[in-house]
C-alpha cells in the first residue's frame, strides 16, 4: 500500500479533499499545501453539514469551527470555537506561521482572522438553520441529554474532514476541520483542534488523524497514541487497533458512538480503522482514486 505521493482523507467527502490536495501533490507540491487545500475544499462545500460553511450550529444556533494543521511538533497551528470566518484550516495555518502560539480560541481567534484579512461571513446556511429549528422543536432545546450520545441527528451529521498527505519529497502533513457535534453545548470543543488528539504528525514517524466522537478520542490522546505505537515499530493497522481497543476498554462508548482513525507512516504504508462499521477512507495516488471500507473494524458485525 505504499506509494508517493499519496493523500488520504476521512469519509465520503474525503474525495473532495483528495481532489483538491491531489492537484497540488501531483504537480510536485508540498504536503502541507495539499492538506490545507483538502480541508479548505470541504469547508467551502455547503452540502457538507459537519464542516465549515453549512455546518450544523450549536444549541444556541451558532456555527463554530475547530481546525488544526500540523507538519511536525514544531510546526502546528489550530483554532477552536471560531465563528464567522472561513476557512478555519487556513486561519490555523496562519496561527502556525505568524504567531508563537499553537491554539487560538473564540473571539481572540476571530480577531486574529480579521487582522489577517479573512473576510467575515455568516456560516449558517438555510438548511442548517432549519435542521437546528427542527432539533429545537423535537428536543425542546434540551442539550444535556444529547451528551449521552444518543442524539440520532448528531450521529448522522457529525464528521470531521481529516487529511494526511505525503508528497514526492517524503514530507508528511495533516489537517482536520469540523463544526463539531451538531447542537453541541455552546463552548464545547472536541478532539479536532487539539494536537495529539484529533491529529498528530511527527516527521520521524508519520501521522494520524481521527474522527468520530471527540469525547472518546480526546480521553486517550488518540492520534498521539497511534504515532507513538508506530514509533515503537507497530504497523499502522496495529497502532490504530491499540487506540481503538483503549477507547473501547476505557471510555465506555455507547453502541452508537463511533471513533475512526487513519494512520500514515513516513515510508508510505498506511491504514484506517474504526470502532464499528460506517466509516470510509478516501485514497488517492497515481494509481488509485477510491473510497473504501477501512481494513480494520474493531467490532465487526455491530
Is 125 annotated in the active site? no
Task: Give residue for cell 500514515.
Answer: 264
Burial class (CB in 10 A: 0-12, 13-18, 19+), 40: buried
84 or 159, CB closer to ligand ASP?
159
Task: Quote the least distance from Cβ 251 to ligand ASP, whole Å.
Answer: 13
Which is it for the CA torsion 292, 298, 301, 302, positive or negative? negative
> Residue 227 and residue 209: Cα distance in Å, rounded?
10
**Binding test (CB under 6 A) with ligand ASP, winner from 18, 30, 90, 178:** 178
Contact between 15 and 9 under an 8 Å Cβ cutoff? The reply is yes
* Residue 50 DSSP label: T
Sheet containing 199-202: order of strands:
199-202, 206-212, 259-265, 270-274, 296-297
Q: Considering the rule CB under 6 A, would residue 55 count as an interface residue with ligand ASP? A: no
Contacts of 72 (CB under 8 A, 6+ apart): 201, 202, 203
Degrees to nearest 5, angle at CA 101 with 96 and 103 = 80
> Residue 240 and residue 274: Cα distance in Å, rounded?
8
Contact between 125 and 44 under an 8 Å Cβ cutoff? The reply is no
10 or 30, CB closer to ligand ASP?
10
Task: Give residue for cell 476541520.
Answer: 177
Task: Quote the least distance from Cβ 73 to ligand ASP, whole Å.
Answer: 21
209 or 283, CB closer to ligand ASP?
209
Task: Quote the least distance from Cβ 286 to ligand ASP, whole Å.
Answer: 29
**Binding test (CB under 6 A) with ligand ASP, winner from 181, 205, 247, 296:** 181
**Binding test (CB under 6 A) with ligand ASP, winner from 57, 87, 180, 273:** 180
Roughly what angle, to the nearest 10 degrees, separates helices 106-115 and 88-98?
80
Q: Considering the rule CB under 6 A, would residue 159 count as an interface residue with ligand ASP? A: yes
25 or 123, CB closer to ligand ASP?
123
Task: Quote the least distance from Cβ 277 to ligand ASP, whole Å.
Answer: 15
Q: Which of 10, 64, 160, 178 is catalytic?
A: 160
Q: Considering the rule CB under 6 A, would residue 158 count as an interface residue with ligand ASP? A: yes
Among the residue ranges 19-27, 75-83, 123-131, 174-182, the one whose residues contact ligand ASP (CB under 6 A):
174-182
Residue numbers 61-120 binding ligand ASP by CB under 6 A: none
Among the residue ranges 106-114, 125-133, 177-185, 219-227, the one whose residues contact ligand ASP (CB under 6 A):
177-185
Q: Considering the rule CB under 6 A, would residue 160 count as an interface residue with ligand ASP? A: yes
Residue numbers 186-245 binding ligand ASP by CB under 6 A: 190-192, 211-214
Degrees to nearest 5, angle at CA 202 with 200 and 203 = 140
Task: Give residue for cell 444556541.
Answer: 60
24 or 189, CB closer to ligand ASP?
189
Task: Quote the least distance from Cβ 275 to ligand ASP, whole Å.
Answer: 12
Q: Considering the rule CB under 6 A, would residue 43 count as an interface residue with ligand ASP? A: no
Q: CA end-to-end span of the chain, whole Å?
A: 27
> Residue 160 and residue 39: Cα distance in Å, rounded?
9
57 or 212, CB closer to ligand ASP?
212
Which residues contact ligand ASP by CB under 6 A? 158-160, 178, 180-181, 190-192, 211-214
The residues assigned a catalytic role are: 160
Amino acid at each position: 500500500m505504499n506509494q508517493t505521493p499519496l493523500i488520504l482523507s476521512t469519509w465520503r467527502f474525503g474525495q473532495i479533499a483528495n481532489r483538491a490536495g491531489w492537484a497540488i501533490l501531483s504537480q510536485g507540491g508540498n504536503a502541507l499545501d495539499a492538506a490545507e487545500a483538502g480541508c479548505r475544499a470541504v469547508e467551502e462545500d455547503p452540502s457538507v453539514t459537519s464542516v465549515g460553511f453549512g455546518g450544523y450550529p450549536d444549541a444556541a444556533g451558532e456555527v463554530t469551527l475547530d481546525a488544526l494543521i500540523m507538519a511536525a511538533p514544531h510546526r502546528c497551528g489550530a483554532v477552536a470555537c471560531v465563528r464567522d470566518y472561513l476557512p478555519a484550516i487556513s486561519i490555523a495555518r496562519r496561527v502556525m506561521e505568524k504567531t508563537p502560539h499553537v491554539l487560538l480560541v473564540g473571539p481572540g481567534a476571530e480577531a486574529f482572522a480579521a487582522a489577517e484579512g479573512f473576510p467575515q461571513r455568516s456560516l449558517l446556511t438555510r438548511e442548517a438553520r432549519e435542521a437546528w429549528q427542527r432539533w429545537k422543536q423535537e428536543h425542546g432545546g434540551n442539550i444535556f441529554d444529547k451528551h449521552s450520545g444518543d442524539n440520532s441527528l448528531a450521529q448522522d451529521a457529525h464528521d470531521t474532514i481529516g487529511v494526511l498527505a505525503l508528497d514526492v519529497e517524503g514530507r508528511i502533513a495533516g489537517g482536520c476541520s469540523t463544526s463539531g457535534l451538531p447542537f453541541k453545548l455552546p463552548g464545547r470543543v472536541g478532539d479536532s483542534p487539539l494536537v495529539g488528539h484529533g491529529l498528530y504528525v511527527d516527521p520521524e514517524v508519520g501521522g494520524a488523524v481521527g474522527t468520530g466522537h471527540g469525547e472518546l478520542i480526546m480521553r486517550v490522546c488518540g492520534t498521539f497514541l497511534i504515532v507513538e505505537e508506530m514509533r515503537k515499530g507497530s504497523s499502522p493497522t496495529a497502532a490504530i487497533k491499540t487506540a481503538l481497543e483503549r477507547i473501547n476498554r476505557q471510555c465506555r462508548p455507547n453502541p452508537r458512538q463511533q471513533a475512526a482513525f487513519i494512520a500514515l507512516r513516513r515510508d508510505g504504508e498506511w491504514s484506517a480503522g474504526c470502532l464499528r462499521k460506517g466509516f470510509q477512507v478516501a485514497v488517492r495516488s497515481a494509481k488509485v482514486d477510491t473510497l473504501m471500507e477501512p481494513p480494520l473494524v474493531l467490532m465487526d458485525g455491530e
